Amino acid sequence: MSRLKGAVGRDPRAGFRTETRDCSTSVPQGLLKAARKSGQLNLSGRNLSEVPQCVWRINVDVPEEANQNLSFSTSERWWEQTDLTKLIISNNKLQSLADDLRLLPALTVLDIHDNQLTTLPSAIRELENLQKLNVSHNKLKILPEEITNLRNLKSLYLQHNELAVIPEGFEQLSSLEDLDLSNNRLTTISAGFSSLSGLVRINLSSNHLKSLPAEISRMKKLRHLDCSSNLLESIPPELAGMESLELLYLRRNKLRFLPEFPSCKLLKELHVGENQIEMLAADHLKHLSSILVLELRDNKLKSVPDEISLLQSLERLDLSNNDISSLPYSLGNLHLKFLALEGNPLRTIRREIINKGTQEVLKYLRSKIKDDGPSQSDSVTETAMTLPSESKVNVHAIVTLKLLDYSDKQTTLIPDEVFDAIKNNIIISVNFSKNQLSEIPKRITELKEMVTEVNLSFNKLSCISLELCMLQKLTFLDLRSNFLNSLPEEMKSLIRLQVINLSFNRFKILPEVLYHIPTLETILISNNQVGSVDPQKMKTMENLTTLDLQNNDLLQIPPELGNCVNLRTLLLDGNPFRVPRAAILMKGTAAILEYLRDRIPT
């Protein structure tokens, strides 16, 4: 606020130097005036070769308009200006920054990416309030030691520079949460890095690292570690003890084997493609209870263990371009959305089946379980001898796959015989898709103590009955391609629901009840008429990682949505908004969220 609040009765210009006029051509006075009120100044893409003095001195000098008119209204009292807290001078031609940077001590955000900087001024140490520094896409060869004085820094982006070493004392950046050092020339990471105990995300990809320090395992809050495109031949076994790790990228290295992951209970994505891994053993898999994505493409794997079926959360499995000749039939029991097998010498699955896609491959593998499995017990044999009215019920699926499947029958009602066929068997999944159902079968409540997945897609449902809300063990719900425009408040009782698919319905807003299901990880609501979302409520959904809003009626994207930092996938294509532009959308979720955060008014 004002540096002259006590200067009542004096010339309000006292103690200030008159603002120079030589910068008006490069920085419009209107921008400076607005910056004094908002505390934010954006000078990106202005072809600047140096930062004008009036920018560094924006909170020091008397503004030019003060020389022209001393009779200011209450709203124009320039001496009560706001200190500059956010300065964006990206996408220019800056080769250096002046030490006058110290004249902006209130800065919390400094964005100077995409310039031609070779170093940073030592005066940067005086920006003690700085929380975010983006110096990516420059020509930095070294970092000044003074950068270690920025004890409040939370986000530091140094990607796409020419850094070969990190300065001593870097571990003093005790508040750092997000660090990007990708696309530099680093050959080693010191053990001192482990002292950055607050780090949540670190990107070390595209460097020249041959090893990682074992001490990295001391980063107890680290969730995202990217070491892709390096020269790593092995991973320290201590890495497998990082309990908070959720995303691990080790693609394009020289790894010959994987460590076990006994403590990585939260690991959701493991990317180890384009290495030299020859074996995938049961010990590599048995602890990955939360894994969603397993990418093993372009390695030297010869087989896949039966224990792959333990990965019940797995959604995407990429095995392409290996030496695999056969697959375990138990793979068919997984609920995969994507399975890549191209480039393998498979002899047990015909090429035409593979070409039909993931679901046909899984269906084929499940059928082989039946063909090659052990003989059934007497009770199962008796069940298989069904009455004529039950002949359309897939009893094998009930007994072997724990699946109640009555899909693609074009029926308007689910016959009682379908539920009767369950007898004393356990049912985990229900598939009533591709029918003509206008209401949910009431007898589905008989499964409330066991069913975790329900597929009611491609029906004619216009409302959700309370019977569905009683399935409190439900984790996956597919309601796409119906006639729904709302969801009942009672659905908040689905306290374990992780994935819901509402695509191709008639929703005009994101259903309010979804904000009150904290376990949700994936919301798919594309191809509706959604016109708004509530970013404040969405921020409270700490487990939400995937949000698909494609092909809706969103006229604007609220900048506060950028605060939903847990989102890994945000899909917005096909909406009528103007910003973010397509170029930003193409850069992916991280770029979209950063773009939105930069536009949050302060």
Among 65-74, 84-93, 141-150, 258-267, the least confident range: 65-74
Show the tokens assigned to 531.
């016109």
Question: How far from chain centre, in Å, is Cα 580?
Answer: 18
- Going 28 to 34 to 39 to 42, the CA torsion angle's sign is negative
65: pLDDT confidence band, cut at 50, 70 and 90?
low
- Find out whether 366 and 405 touch, Cβ atoms under 8 Å: no
CA distances from 446 to 312, 393, 437, 467 (A): 24, 17, 18, 10
Query: What average pLDDT does the structure give for the chain?
Result: 86
pLDDT at residue 265 tops 70: yes
pLDDT at residue 75 tops 90: no
Show the tokens assigned to 522.
């994936």
For the segment 207-239, what is each residue's pLDDT rounded down to a tens digit?
Answer: 999 999 988 888 989 999 999 999 999 988 888
For the segment 324-333, what is each residue's pLDDT rounded down to a tens digit?
Answer: 989 998 899 8
For the segment 290-310, what is each residue's pLDDT rounded down to a tens digit?
Answer: 899 999 999 999 999 888 888
Show the tokens assigned to 392.
């359309």
pLDDT of residue 22: 52
281: pLDDT confidence band, cut at 50, 70 and 90?
confident
pLDDT at residue 562 tops 90: yes
pLDDT at residue 6 tops 70: no
DSSP for residue 467: T
Residues 6+ apart with CB under 8 A from 555: 531, 575, 576, 577
For the segment 416-451, what is each residue's pLDDT rounded down to a tens digit?
Answer: 999 999 988 999 999 999 899 999 999 999 999 999
For the segment 455-488, what is each residue's pLDDT rounded down to a tens digit?
Answer: 999 999 999 999 999 998 999 999 999 999 999 9
pLDDT of residue 80: 66
pLDDT of residue 572: 92
CA distances from 325 to 255, 294, 599 (A): 22, 19, 52
Return the amino acid letter for 226: D
pLDDT at residue 15 tops 60: no
Q: In angstroms, rounded to a whole number, what is the distance separating the alpha carbons of residues 525 and 544?
A: 14
Percentage of residues in the chain having pLDDT higher than 70: 89
Domain limits of the chain?
A: 387-597
- Residue bearing tokens 């606020």: 1
pLDDT at residue 172 tops 70: yes
pLDDT of residue 461: 95
- Going 583 to 339 to 409 to 486, the CA torsion angle's sign is negative
380: pLDDT confidence band, cut at 50, 70 and 90?
very low
Q: Which CATH class is domain 387-597?
A: alpha beta
pLDDT at residue 312 tops 90: no
226 - beta bridge partners? 203, 249
> Phi and psi for 73 in degrees, rounded to 5?
-80, 175
DSSP for residue 288: -
Show the tokens assigned to 155.
């986000």
What is the longest distance spanned by two Cα atoms in the chain? 101
24-33 mean pLDDT: 80
Show the tokens assigned to 300.
């030297």
pLDDT of residue 148: 92
Show the tokens assigned to 458.
């491609």
pLDDT of residue 386: 34
Q: DSSP for 153-205?
A: --EEE--SS------TTGGG-TT--EEE--SS------GGGGG-TT-SEEE--
Show the tokens assigned to 113.
């990416």
Show the tokens assigned to 302.
């010869």
Is the omega angle on the peptide bond into residue 144 within 30 degrees of 0, that is, cis? no
> Phi and psi for 249 in degrees, rounded to 5?
-110, 120
- Residue bearing tokens 């909406």: 575
> Phi and psi for 215 in degrees, rounded to 5?
-65, -10
25: pLDDT confidence band, cut at 50, 70 and 90?
low
Q: In angstroms, rounded to a whole number, what is the distance separating the alpha carbons of residues 73 and 316?
A: 62
- 293-299 CB contacts, 8 Å cutoff, 24+ apart: 293/268, 293/269, 294/270, 294/318, 295/251, 295/269, 295/270, 295/271, 296/272, 296/322, 297/273, 297/321, 297/322, 297/340, 298/273, 298/274, 298/322, 299/272, 299/273, 299/274, 299/275
